[in-house]
Chains A and B, each alone.
Chain A
Amino acid sequence: EVQLVESGGGLVQPGGSLRLSCVASGFAFSSHWMHWVRQAPGKGLMWVSGIHNDGSSTTYADSVKGRLTISRDNAKNTMYLQMNSLRAEDTALYYCAREGMAAAGPDGFDIWGQGTTVTVSS
């Protein structure tokens, strides 16, 4: 079964750090770009970051640049999101998502995990 399972969320104080993990199974993890997408309580989806198949290229939303770092370990079929200098506005459900493999150009997100909740509060 194709699956993504996130973990690592929790309650953290403003300015604190957290590392999220996303473990993939049931597909060739190293063949896909992978992404983090978040959803604040009662709000819409917001793309956070993406990483190339082999980790050689990363992209970030402007609002998280310099504070969040995406990485992956293909040997462990795992993607990470290191979150530093956290703010209240980072409070959200964080999903990992697999980008499809379009014949040309970027693709959409065809597999999503169940999400892990990050709460930034004192």
Chain B
Amino acid sequence: SYELTQPPSVSVSPGQTASITCSADKLGNKFAWWYQQKPGQSPVLVIYQDSKRPSGIPERFSGANSGNTATLTISGTQAMDEADYYCQAWDSSSVVFGGGTKLTVL
């Protein structure tokens, strides 16, 4: 089965750039989506089709996908960005999520 691998945790200082990776075989040949989930809340879509931002998502969120790795980048990270982040892709007719990355802003 297709697996998406994320680092369990990433730390970043306020105002700096955070990068969260999502790796899988030939992931660049597929689209990737990214979700943000804060404690006690439902997931929120922050990046779709590799690099597009839904309405209402700040410009500091960006995405890229090439080769075997998709990357979510948060520029000028703010304390409010502290959350769990999940990548997602489609494998045939099934949905696959990465294991999630806890972003700590300290």
Contacts and interface: CB of A to CB of B under 8 A. Distances in A.
B54 interface: yes
A47 B95 contact: yes
Contacts of A59: 93-94
A88 interface: no
**Does more than half of chain B's interface fall in helix, strand or loop, or is it mixed?**
strand
B42 A102 contact: no
Nearest to B96: A47
A44 B87 CA distance: 11
B52 to A, nearest CB: 10
Interface string B79-93: 000001010101001
B45 A110 contact: yes
B95 A105 contact: no
B48 A44 contact: no
Interface string A86-97: 000000000100
Given A45-B100, A107-B48, A112 B42 contact: yes
Interface of B: 1, 31, 33, 35, 37, 42-45, 48-49, 54, 84, 86, 88, 90, 93-100
Given A44-B84, A100-B48, A105-B90, 6 more contacts: A45-B86, A45-B97, A62-B1, A95-B43, A109-B88, A110-B48
Interface of A: 35, 37, 44-47, 50, 59, 61-62, 95, 100, 102, 105-110, 112-115
8 contacts: A37-B97, A44-B100, A45-B35, A50-B93, A62-B1, A106-B93, A109-B45, A114-B42
